[in-house]
Amino acid sequence: MPATGTFSAFPKLSEPLGLFGGTFDPVHFGHLRLAEEAVAQLGLGGVRWLPAGQPPHRGQPQVTAGQRLQMVRLATAGNPRFSVDAAEVEAAAPSYTVHTLERLRRELGPAQPLVLLVGADAFAGLSGWHRWPELFRLAHVAVSHRPGFPVEAASLPAELAGEFAARRQSDPALLQTAAAGCIVSFAMTQLAISATQIRRLLANDLSARYLLPDEVLDYIQVHSLYRNP
């Protein structure tokens, strides 16, 4: 069984590869179900998890990037379709998704279908991302439903709504027929879990059990993370 953290779980070239970026501060079952259901619903060969190093879109996380990376490794270990990419955490510069996609394109070649996985809340903010129009040249985008965040053009900024209307496809099988450029959405089990909620519970010395894997919760407790509001 390939170990998490290596890239030996790569799919065959024809199978789209999911790319799942996030702060994962900490990783929780909402993230894990998103990745798991994306594999099944979108026919992905695997999902490469990309914990962010220094997120450009938000304040400084409460734990180190290395600790967030370690929690993602613990959460994804044992799933042969998941691999973890530490490059953003190890980079000195801020992590912009467009740079990561350019790197992966160089690594995997022009024909490999790549699918950027994002929750509906993250997708709604996509037009604020660095060089965002280029993302569609580099990858497909798959938007998962998330409680409280509708996936519809009317709730998107105008420039993103235009791309959404032009690129949206209802058949995920089309993700295999091109390397990049489509937008699909998929309905996942709705879990109103957020890292913010987990951090708040832990800071107030309340139980976060059953919102995230026990291995991750054990790591948090051993390292005394998220104690401060």
> What are the residues binding ligand ATP (CB under 6 A)?
22-25, 30-31, 34, 118-119, 121-122, 144, 146, 191, 193-196
Minimum CB separation of residue 228 from ligand ATP in Å reads 15
* Residue 16 amino acid letter: P
Nearer to ligand ATP, 10 or 149 (CB): 149
Cβ closest to ligand ATP, residue 106 vs residue 204: 204
Between 167 and 200, whose beta carbon lies closer to ligand ATP? 200
What does the DSSP assignment read for 85-122? --HHHH-SS---HHHHHHHHHHHH-TTS-EEEEEEHHH
Nearest-approach distance from CB 145 to ligand ATP, in angstroms: 7
Give me the least distance between CB of 46 and ligand ATP, in Å please: 17
Closest to ligand ATP by CB, 16 vs 22, is: 22
Helix, coil or strand: residue 186:
strand
Cα–Cα distance measured from residue 162 to residue 170, given in angstroms and rounded to the nearest whole number: 16
**Rounded to the nearest whole angstrom, what is the least distance from the CB of residue 54 to ligand ATP in the complex?**
14
Picking from 219, 174, 211, the residue whose alpha carbon sits closest to that of residue 64 is 219
CA distance 99 to 73: 22
